[in-house]
Amino acid sequence: MLKYVHPALKNKTLEASEYDFLKVERKWQKTYEERRVFEAEPDPSKPKFFVTFPFPYMSGPVHLGTAYTLTRLDIIARYKRKRGFNVLFPFAFHWTGTTITGISDRIRRGDQKTIEILEKMDGVPREEIERFKDPVYLARYYTEKNRAALRDYGLAVDWRREFHTTSLNPGFSTFVRWQYLKLKEKGYITKGAHPVVWCPRDKSSTGDHDRLSGEGVFPEKFYLVKFRLGNTYLVAATFRPETIFGVTNVWINPDATYAEAFVDDEKWIVSIETLEKLADQTRNVSKIREFKGREIVGRNAEVVFTGMTVPVLPASFVDPSLGTGVVYSVPAHAPYDYMALEDLKKNEEVLREYGLNPDEVRSIKNISMITTEKYGSNPCEKLVKELNIRSQSDPKLEEATSLVYKEEFHKGVTLENCGRFSNLPVQKAKELVVEEMKKTGAGDEFLELPSPVVCRCGTRCHVKILGDQFLLKYSWPEWKNKALEALNKMIINPKEVKENFIYFINWYDDWAFTRTSGLGTPVPWLPDQIVETLSDSTVYMAYYIVSKYVNEGLLNPENLTEEFYDYVLLGVGVPEEVARKTGVPTEFLRRLREEFDYWYPVDLRNSGKDLVANHLTFYIFHHVAIFPEEKWPRQISVNGFLRIEGQPMHKSKGIFISMRDALEKFGSDATRITLLLSAEGLEDPNWESEKARRNIDLLRGIYKFLLSLPRGQGSRENSHMEEWLRSSVRRRVKNVTEALENMQIREATSEALYGLRNDLRWYLRRVREPDSKALREAAKTWLNLLYPFTPHLAEELWSKLGEEDLLVNFPWPRTVEADEKPLLLEKYLEGLVEDTYRILKAMKKTSLARLRIIIAAEWKNKAFREIAETAEANRDKIREAITRHAAGIGREELGRFVGHVMKNLPAMTVEYRRILEQVLEAGEHNILNEAKTFLEKEFKCRVEIIREDEITKEESAKLFGKKPPTQPGRPVIIIE
């Protein structure tokens, strides 16, 4: 395709040599470090901006998911710094919990899967893995590796404030100690029995971040329902006890191990796994014997609550670790039961294996006992047909189950066969059935995990009720109200996440914050237990103010007493008295207090969306408990989860890229923009290595392009194109600035990368002799806009332009309203050029002899001024407006034009009307005549600009044929 290239861009290869991105990145990182660019100190003459990031666990390499979230924050930090803010961006590392000790445990046990992941995915040498049996060595190893990767990524971090958690850092431990003494003093800690997710191997409760899998799973209330089997009770677990009136059979896993045991003086049959769970929920359990489930398959059991008798049938899908390993079947209202029973009826082999009478099994009929307006009284049969479900292994069964359960629970009514619980809303029926079951001994309540949770040590967890457990009183209404008050005063981005915060603040019950295993800080009044991983990471941002001085040796852990923190962080106490007790000089204490007062609160905390459910909610709770209102967090931003080549990141499946791997292959700047361009808001970003490779080429292209720009002293300051270039620059500055202020990072990245590049290319296409001064100013502004996103490339090009000061220190361009007129006039011309190229492509032409551009007659211009203002008018009013200006125009031509206008009115956009207004004011003929030289060079042919009313009717008929008539701002293009 034809394309004009400005002579200034030809043969300019002297300075635009190959861009060595790794060399350039190291160069500027070293420069920034030597000049201590990101080391922030209080400056009362500047507004401050304090940004923080949830410290990553040191149980493996920092991955690209972390890099994505971190880069979004880094961009805001750089941007705010350029806007004149004094920015503090510190960093730390998380060692707390069983994440690290779990890996060490698995290595000591010779877990080959763990060892293989460490070797293949993390690149850890075999001799180092042997040393990983020591969790402290493991934590230090990954901290050193990750610190190096993060520094090579070029973050705008003040590394003087770095620390890691746990008692292995005595300074940090003093802070956690103070935090929990303060919470206890203020009444936010209580003691009592409490259900926790329990690891039977570690003998400790297991929080979200102590888990290999099952994050976000909490104990839920199940219901135990008894079936009499001889002199024992077969005990099933269910979410829906009200469905007992529809039971047709009991499911047992024939190959699982079950136990007959005394449970609180009754004989129960449950899976062997259930015995420990029952004992851990304060029941008295004594095992009598073990047996395989097949032993009781085929027997009949009596529903204690209703007196019905139902058979015990085999089902391999029953998980003995979930519930009690016994499931009662309600095929009319449970899609899985419906399909399992249908499959069993057809399976002669299984029926024979367990000596079941095929006719008796096939005679089992669904018992409907709930009806809804949407699904009627046989929802499973209906949905199985609608969703075309063929077997019990069909994944669509999960969807069907969700649909039935939700509809019946919220809108269902019990039928007449439910005894005194008939004709009730399902929610009410459930409440009454549970009450009656407990009263009569036909059932009870039981806490269970609705899906598997696996501890970091590799052990499956269950619910345990701990007595005399220390708890954070998240259930306390007063605390919840303060948290909600803080939330309402905060900026939450994206806005829709606020509803999630409201839900979790209201949802949380008391929280067990102590653990007996893993790394951490001892509970001040309970030295044999530690503060768990989510609970020691809620207000540590305040410790960044202190950590710098601990790292520099100006403060020792012995100095960091309760009185020290009370004064420095809360302003409580007399400095002279605190100095006497702590050994910290009075003036130093005052300085620390002033520094904390200057930096706090946190202005922005950015995180992945998964932490809304725990860490970020706790972050709000703890700040409002400890700090006064003026120190509460100001803004939280969250983003989606990174996917790798379209798949969820999963280390054990090999779907994983570390920050270090990305840096070595693609460098920092290309990695940054690949991540940033992949998602906005809560969308899950998708990393594609091919895009990263293309982005290296993009950055090299920008490097060469900017170094190839014409230089010199030429100036055409008052010409239209220079006005257009200045307006374009202002428009791009405004767009990037507004996007960053709204945390629209992808939008800002795209605009910074492509906006001015496209503008400069268009400018060089349009002008024969570029204004080098205007070009230089535009290039400088472009580099300034690029800097937050590609800091190393931008800084390198800035130096190539001969600028003496560092770009990192150069202020952000001022936001000035752009002059719309030159922008709209060029938009018109760009549209004309694009239309011409489209026609050429459609005609499969690579060259042309003549380009004729037919513009609308003057009467149409006048008519269109009215039409643009009467776009909502009917056909008669449009015709009337046109007729007023169409004196002497034939009826046929007039009718054709009116029809064309009416047809195209819906497409007459606001932008088109704005362009048209400027085109009509400047004169379409004048605009095209001034651009004629450009058009001739662009298309390498003769160009004629012709008014429609300058040609004869015969020539018009010949030229236009059946083409639509000309329209102001939309000329007819004739290619020869």
- The overall average pLDDT reported for the chain is 91
Helix (H, G, I), strand (E, B) or coil at 399: helix
Q: Which domain holds residue 923?
A: 844-975
Supply the pLDDT for residue 923.
Answer: 87
User: Residue type at 858?
Assistant: E
Q: How big is the chain by its Cα radius of gyration, in Å?
A: 36
Nearest to 204 by CA among 614, 529, 537: 529
Whether 874 shows a pLDDT value over 90: the answer reads no
d(CA 602, CA 590): 21
Length of the chain: 976
Half-sphere exposure in the Cβ direction for 365 (13 Å, CA):
3
pLDDT in tens, 652-670: 888 999 999 999 999 999 9
pLDDT in tens, 812-854: 999 988 889 999 999 999 999 999 999 999 998 888 889 999 9
Residue 961 lies in a domain: yes
Let me know: does 258 contact 251? Beta carbons within 8 Å.
no
Is 850 within the bounds of a domain? Answer: yes
Given a contact cutoff of 8 angstroms between Cβ atoms, the answer to whether 64 and 644 are in contact is yes
- 805 and 930 assigned to the same domain: no
Judge whether 394 lies within some domain: yes
The confidence score (pLDDT) of residue 10 equals 44
Domain end (from 448, 469, 494):
448
Q: 918 and 778: one domain?
A: no
Choosing from 432, 448, 464, the residue where a domain stops is 448
Is 288 a domain residue? Answer: yes
> Do 925 and 817 share a structural domain?
no
In a domain, 923, yes or no: yes
Higher pLDDT pick, 877 / 626:
626
Residue 457 has what pLDDT?
A: 85
pLDDT score at 226: 97
Segment 393-434, tens digit of pLDDT: 888 999 999 999 999 999 999 999 999 999 999 999 999 999
Q: What is the pTM of this model?
A: 0.85
Lowest mean pLDDT among 337-341, 671-675, 856-860, 900-904: 900-904
Residues 798 and 851 in one domain: no
- Residue located via tokens 């499931």: 327
CA atoms within 13 A on the CB side of 648: 4
Helix (H, G, I), strand (E, B) or coil at 310: strand
Quick check: is 567 in a domain?
no
User: What single-letter amino acid sits at 728?
Assistant: S
Q: What is the pLDDT of residues 141-163, one digit of tens each?
A: 999 999 999 999 999 999 999 99
Q: Is the pLDDT at 203 greater than 90, yes or no?
A: no
Beta strands, E only, 479-578:
491-493, 511-512, 514-515, 522-523, 526-531
Q: Quick check: 14 pLDDT over 50?
A: no
Highest-scoring range by mean pLDDT, 27-36, 201-210, 858-867: 27-36
Burial group, residue 675, by CB count within 10 angstroms (0-12, 13-18, 19+): buried
Lowest mean pLDDT among 317-326, 760-769, 890-899: 890-899
Distance of CA 697 to the CA centre of its chain: 28
> Mean pLDDT throughout 363-379?
93
Mean pLDDT of 684-694: 97
Statement to judge: residues 752 and 873 lie in one domain: no
**303 and 418 fall within a common domain:** yes
Q: How many domains does the chain have?
A: 3
Per-residue pLDDT reduced to its tens digit, 843-871: 988 888 899 999 988 777 777 776 666 55
- Within this chain, do residues 848 and 814 fall inside the same structural domain, yes or no? no
522 in helix, strand or coil? strand
Q: So what's the pLDDT on residue 702?
A: 96
% of the chain exceeding 70 in pLDDT = 93
Same domain, 817 and 854: no
Give the CATH number for residue 746. 1.10.730.10
Q: 448, 479, 507 — which closes off a domain?
A: 448
In this prediction, residues 164-169 reach a mean pLDDT of 97
Residue 961 above 80 pLDDT?
Answer: no
Position 619 in a domain: no
Question: Both 809 and 716 in a single domain?
Answer: yes
Place 715 in a pLDDT band, splitting at 50, 70 and 90: low
Q: What is the pLDDT of residues 452-476, one digit of tens each?
A: 999 888 899 999 998 888 999 999 9
Query: Once rounded to an integer, what is the mean pLDDT over residues 319-325?
Result: 94
Indicate whether 694 and 814 sit together in one domain: yes
- Residue 907 pLDDT greater than 80, yes or no: no
Q: Are 364 and 249 in contact (CB under 8 A)?
A: yes
Domain containing residue 226: CATH number? 3.90.740.10
Q: What is the pLDDT of residues 1-10, one digit of tens each?
A: 344 444 444 4
CB atoms within 10 A of CB 857: 22
Residue 257 lies in a domain: yes
Q: Which tokens belong to 379?
A: 């929802």
Instruction: For residues 906 and 795, state if they share a domain.
Output: no
| 796 and 923 both lie in a single domain | no
Span 598-623, mean pLDDT?
97
